[in-house]
Structure 1
């Protein structure tokens, strides 16, 4: 069977441009509303293409009665803590499942993977009761600490990634006197960089925009992240008055731009993780 390379035609590029333009309409509309004046918000005369450019809205959003700056700092704290927990735990657990020889290892791995089929809504109430008994409600701990126990998807991702790496590397390091943690820290960790960065990106994306977790566990306004703060802007308008949609969209842009930047900077690691199968670390 002969495999030929795909060559894009002008029709292909035209189709991609049309589809990209259609998919970009919501984002352009968000920018248009964010740059609109208060008069446009009150009259509800928005347009998809921006007609007004009130860049001061990006400063006004921090001058509201809500502590938007604190919301932003809280999001950073929660996101960094979550990323650190997932990266530390996923690498170790995935490496252990891929390399350690222990009775019942495969059965335990199947149980871990099976937890992916349990809806989060089922465990929501038991988790809340547990964290309430620990006294963690209205703190960042319920949003950060569970990440230090990894999750099934990240464990599966790391286990499959480590399984592609040659065992001879581990055996050579052990012959030189390194133990399990020594091999992981000095030999495997540099090769696992693409997978760990991918996990960090996935975790950061989820933690940065998480709405349900903070809504359940956080009560004080000073501890809420940006995702909740954006919702609070739309719900604090006076009676019979339209919410300040321009400021709401500014908050939405603040939620979106960091994720776009993170993906732009880390996309090469995502592709490397998927395409090279771990070989990039031993080139």
Structure 2
């Protein structure tokens, strides 16, 4: 035993030690410069949002706020446009879209990873291939389909497609599930659970990081979606905030500057919820290790 331990100890001593990264003043200086460059547009938006109407008409904006008209955040709801309704519509569309994507992506991805069926791999390749189709190509056929269904000027074209998942989310779930031990399914089958029972009681809790990540991705897309509502919605009472903000620029008289301070307030209302959602869900994004699948069993 002593003769075997000696070579092992020598190899351990010869192994190079991993050095911890130590930040230098140059590192912090570089990070500060990059952070300043990235946050300057956000600060500028806040400066315009807090500006007075006289500053807007004169166009004398500054990056650092010189005025603090906090009443602009309440004035935006008092315009002739139903900004409060815009905000509520965005919440409804986004929440239902997130629910649809999470439910459908989890089930479809689990099926591709665990179920055995002839042609499953070919079908999965077809699903992945749809990611290469530009969205602009399917706009007109989708509009004709939803028009024939009578869904134009309703929330249905913006919500219902999310209950059929998409290729990227299916790929995420499939890769995550394929790395989880199959013995979990076999043990559950021996206890009498079917595929849906296994997914609901075992896989669904373990898929929490990737499903929350899918929810964040979907919420980010639908909350700021401009093209979809522009195509399918006609009434102002049904428009989301992303489309309603554009309408605020058209409320001024001819020859008069748009109320950019109120427009920027609407932009902040669009940005702040996404910042909060990312701050609360960033740990799940970091845990979403699709290469090893270890996040689900932590």
Query: Which TM bucket (shorter chain)?
Result: over 0.9
Counterpart selection for 1:178 from 170, 193, 198 = 193
**Counterparts of residues 94-133 of structure 1 (less than 5 Å):** 94-133=109-148
Structure 2: distance between partners of 1:115 and 1:167? 29
For 1:46-75, what per-residue CA distance to the aligned partner results, in whole angstroms no more than 9, with x for missing partners?
A: 000000000000000000000000000000
Q: Which runs of 4+ in 1 moved over 2 A?
A: 1-8, 274-283
Kept after mapping to 1: 8 A contact 2:176/2:291:
no
Kept after mapping to 2: 8 A contact 1:32/1:47:
yes
**Counterparts of residues 149-160 of structure 1 (less than 5 Å):** 149-160=164-175
Kept after mapping to 2: 8 A contact 1:192/1:278:
no
Aligned equivalent of 2:296:
281
Structure 1: distance between partners of 2:179 and 2:68? 52
Runs (5+) with no aligned partner, structure 2? 1-14
Q: 1:235 deviation in Å?
A: 1.7
TM-score (norm 2): 0.93
Q: 1:16 deviation in Å?
A: 0.6
Aligned equivalent of 2:240:
225
Aligned equivalent of 1:201:
216
Structure 2: distance between partners of 1:230 and 1:116? 30
Q: Of the two, which has the highest radius of gyration?
A: 2
Question: What is the count of residue pairs matched by the alignment?
Answer: 283
Kept after mapping to 2: 8 A contact 1:214/1:228:
yes
Moved more, 10-19 or 120-129: 10-19
Counterpart selection for 2:158 from 143, 153, 172 = 143
Counterpart selection for 1:265 from 261, 269, 280 = 280
TM-score (norm 1): 0.98
**Counterparts of residues 57-96 of structure 1 (less than 5 Å):** 57-96=72-111
Q: 1:278 deviation in Å?
A: 3.2
Structure 1: distance between partners of 2:230 and 2:77? 21
Structure 2: distance between partners of 1:163 and 1:5? 33
Kept after mapping to 1: 8 A contact 2:176/2:290:
no
SS in 1 for 2:289: helix
Superposed CA RMSD in Å reads 1.2
